[in-house]
Amino acid sequence: MISTIFLATSVTKKLDHNNLRKDVSVMCNLSQGIVDDTKVEIIINMYENKFSLEQISLATKKSIAEIEKIIKENKSVLV
């Protein structure tokens, strides 16, 4: 009986730990998405304010190719 309770408690703790890890992972992914969205907004804002691609690259630490891709993907926002 005692070993059954111990086993059940151990499994429950393990499940809780796994759920916690999953929850933390989800939160980290969400926060990374927010950071990425913010960088896109900054890039678009700088582009609309006539910053050069080189200046945007220096400010955002993104390559010029990445910046061009972001601008192209957000053309509808720029109109």
**For the chain, what is the domain count?**
1
CA distance 17 to 54: 46
Tens digits of residue pLDDT in 4-57: 555 555 555 566 667 777 776 766 766 666 667 789 999 999 999 999 999 999
| Owning domain of residue 10 | 2-78
Whole-prediction pTM value? Answer: 0.58
